[in-house]
Structure 1
Amino acid sequence: MFPRLHIVTDSLDVVRGAVGHGPVAIQIRVKKSDRLAYELTVAALEVCRAAGALCLVDDRVGVALAAGADGVHVGADDLPVAAVRRVLGPSALVGATCRDPAAARAAVADGAGYLGVGPAFATSSKDGLPPPLGAAGIGAVVDAVPGTPVIAIGGITAANAAQLPGHGVAAISAIARDPAGATIELLKVLAR
């Protein structure tokens, strides 16, 4: 079963605190360098494998391949999904960022196994984002790609995750302060 909770982080402490409480995917997001991303991914993979959690790499296809991660998540300005699929092969998990139904259908046609859609709500985790989509915008993407997991990202908290029944969520800042507690709380909300 594909995890409905994705945790995006650049901290091994967050990885250690978040895994082992239920089905999660860890997405390693390191913007500074490939070497730092690789080192963190290798360390995170050890923790994730022991706990049965997926470990993905954000943006960096080469790092995902070199570290042996379960897959990669690419944004609109990264390598195209079809190119990533060719590089990583048919068994790797490839996620793509989308904001609307047309982009979602195109990403799935090109080989995306899941979609990250957002920002769902207002967030300060990333600069220059477009306006939040809200539950209706996320729902429109879900309806466009039946059977493809959709993970809402951007401003996710346990309180507003409840507005997205049946969808998955990705959390960044909501997890950072108390990885174990926040993971447990989000998993409870997603189980409803």
Structure 2
Amino acid sequence: MRPITFRLFILLSLLPLLAWGRGTYQEPREFLSDNFNGQVPEASIVWLTGERKQRAREILGHSYASLRVRYWRKAQRSAWILEEIGKDHPITTGVVIQDGRLERIKVLIFRESRGWEVRYPFFTDQFKGAELNHDGALNKSIDGISGATLSVRALKKIAALALYLDSVTVEQNVKTSP
């Protein structure tokens, strides 16, 4: 009986390590408030139909989970709350675009058991100033993190998608129509 008790103790002691990186680091509404100095503009919607849907599919490598994407814009500053699958679960990320350049990217909710290092500034600061090049890819090289390849890929895709959607909404002033 003693060896079984010891094994159970070890197993239960290790369970919290499985959820180490999972968590809500910032609520989306707090992210928006922080990035608009407490005066969050009204949400707008861009519909992913036609060319926008196809372009989102090219950026992500699959269709986006929703046909509508909410965003918040004040002048040339926009904020996006987007999700992309890391390995098995969505990573909820906030992205701020100023004048067509990525100003900030932040992991808000991380649901994976690995790859959580992407939430730290040493990684996310690499995205500052990124734009889309003529091929529609990020114009900056983003260094990976050993053991977090899929999470790194997810954030790169989210950054590119946010920059693309920002460019579309600036050009067409898309509100709610497809």
TM-score category (smaller protein): under 0.3
Select the structure of larger CA radius of gyration. Answer: 2
* TM-score computed with the length of structure 2 as normaliser: 0.28
More strand by share: 2
Q: With structure 1 as the length reference, what TM-score do the two structures score?
A: 0.26
